[in-house]
Structure 1
């Protein structure tokens, strides 16, 4: 399996500051693997809220994660200051892929880089086209 090269900071279009917590560390003194996905999810959710995309309530669109992943390049742990860089890797008819890099303490390349692929579904969980307004907002990260 080939190892991907981390993307540089300027490949990302938006940044969300995140703080590691003492509880994020595992027995080895670095961040627990499950915490990476939680940070990716938090960064994406904060960006959505900051850009007018409701994530809860009757006006929220129902995006389901259908695939995710993470590549680790260097250790992260408390008390590292993080910036989550976001960029849109793909925008389809009913789906998108958000690439997320975790930059620790102002570094030029991410310590970890992951993604979420999400599909918009209707009330019966069938894929449905992304409406124009959220599509335009998501496109700002292309």
Structure 2
């Protein structure tokens, strides 16, 4: 079950030479939805916060093609919430017919902005992340 959803229209330049959305766009969509949620819902300021979230792992399993001018619905949840890290899980679907086009995950580790040493996820942010946790 995915607890946060956003619709994102594809763009003309998302298509590759094969006529479908290129694989790198799938990662970009997941990353965009994660960061929109962090900023818009959780109130995280990536430019001023004392810690930053670095992607240390990502994965995407492609299930079906999608092409411009399709709209992609991205579902987001937290699969695992650790002390210094979070595993975001995402599903991408074609809005027009509900077809799942990809499933993936990102693992963010929170680090000190200056030293890059791992730090605990701030409690206010953790509280918001817990709302997306699907254990």
TM-score (norm 1): 0.86
Corresponding residue number in structure 2 for 1:100: 90
SS of equivalent to 1:57: coil
Cα offset, 1:97, TM superposition:
0.4
Corresponding residue number in structure 2 for 1:86: 76
Question: How far apart, in 2, do the equivalents of 1:33 and 1:69 lie?
Answer: 11
Cα offset, 1:33, TM superposition:
1.0
SS of equivalent to 1:71: strand
Misfit runs of 4+, over 6 Å: none
Corresponding residue number in structure 1 for 2:4: 14
Structure with greater proportional strand content: 2
Question: How far apart, in 2, do the equivalents of 1:108 and 1:60 lie?
Answer: 40
Unaligned regions of 5+ residues in structure 2, if any? none
Task: Tell me the matched-pair count.
Answer: 132
Taking a change above 3 Å as real, the CA distance of residues 109 and 12 of structure 1, as seen in their structure-2 partners, is farther
Unaligned regions of 5+ residues in structure 1, if any? 1-10
Cα offset, 1:107, TM superposition:
4.3
Which runs of structure 2 are paired with 1:1-142 in the superposition (5 Å)? 11-59=1-49, 61-108=51-98, 110-122=100-112, 123-142=114-133
SS of equivalent to 1:62: strand
TM-score (norm 2): 0.91
Cα offset, 1:108, TM superposition:
4.3
